[in-house]
């Protein structure tokens, strides 16, 4: 089959304005719960996060959503990583959830903020010990000679922390909150006439909901 011939129609559901909650985070929670129950993958929290450097060059990667509330979405990372450095220089971000078996997508756009040390510590110490050690062992986004070197770095840190019951929080590790001012919900429909609704935050803090052409 030719690449251009790979396609399918989206027929399972529809999305009407009356189906939507007024708060996009509550609407997201509703869709997120459905996605979890559908067991679409082993990583239901996976989202693609796009950032841009000071020159406007865009990069993206998959990260794991760790919490969300009315104030936004939270994920954690090495604060010296490429994405964290880009967000420090250009604190604008987009996050995308692609639940294609459900024929749904959700897009978030907005500014970011870095979490406090107390927030970082609370989550860091809830992680598996091996993951805590890895946060110390890996200089994320930096070049490394080979896998053996990376494994040795981990082993060195593991030995260093052998006698410690509590591994200290690295200064270079923490959380980032995406505070959306725009959220879009996409439901696939037949003949590529998809249902799309955008939530735009107003200066009053209220959300304006608009149906968008596909």
- Residue ranges for the binding site? 7-10, 61-66, 76-77, 82-83, 105, 123, 127, 131, 140-141, 186, 192-194, 196
> Among residues 57, 129, 189, 192, which one is catalytic?
192
3-state secondary structure 110-145: EEEEECCHHHHHHHHCCCCHHHHHHHHHCCCCCCCC
Binding residues for FMN: 61-66, 76-77, 82-83, 105, 140-141, 186, 196
Q: What's the DSSP call for residue 168?
A: P
Q: Tell how far CA 60 is from the center of its chain.
A: 10
Binding residues for substrate: 7-10, 66, 123, 127, 131, 192-194
Is residue 192 part of the annotated active site? The answer reads yes
Q: CA–CA separation, 22 vs 198, rounded Å?
A: 11
Token pair recorded at residue 59? 């990069």
The residue among 183, 18, 209 whose CA lies nearest residue 93 is: 183
The residue among 176, 199, 210, 209 whose CA lies nearest residue 72 is: 176
Token pair recorded at residue 120? 């970082």
Q: Which residues contact 87 (CB under 8 A, 6 or more apart)?
A: 51, 93, 112, 176
Q: What is the DSSP string of 48-99?
A: EEEEE-TT--EEEEEEE--EEETTEEEEEEETTSHHHHHHHHS-EEEEEEEE
Q: CA–CA separation, 167 vs 149, rounded Å?
A: 22
Catalytic residues: 192
């Amino acid at each position: 089959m030719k690449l251009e011939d790979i396609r399918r129609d989206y027929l399972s559901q529809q999305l009407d304005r009356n189906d939507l909650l007024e708060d996009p985070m509550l609407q997201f929670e509703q869709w997120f719960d459905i996605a979890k129950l559908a067991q679409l993958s082993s990583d239901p929290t996976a989202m693609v996060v796009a950032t841009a450097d000071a020159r406007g060059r865009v990069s993206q990667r998959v990260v794991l959503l760790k919490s969300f509330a009315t104030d936004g979405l939270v994920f954690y990372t090495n604060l010296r990583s490429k994405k964290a450095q880009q967000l420090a220089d250009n604190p604008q971000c987009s996050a995308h959830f692609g639940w294609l078996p459900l024929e749904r997508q959700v897009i978030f756009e907005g500014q970011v903020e870095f979490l406090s040390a107390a927030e970082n510590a609370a989550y860091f110490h809830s992680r598996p010990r091996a993951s805590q050690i890895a946060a110390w062992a890996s200089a994320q986004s930096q070049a490394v000679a080979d896998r053996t070197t990376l494994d040795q770095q981990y082993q060195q840190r593991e030995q260093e922390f052998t006698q410690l019951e509590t591994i200290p929080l690295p200064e270079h590790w923490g959380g980032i909150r995406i505070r959306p001012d725009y959220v879009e919900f996409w439901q696939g429909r037949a003949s590529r006439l998809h249902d799309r609704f955008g939530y735009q935050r107003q200066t009053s803090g209220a959300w304006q909901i608009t149906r968008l052409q596909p």
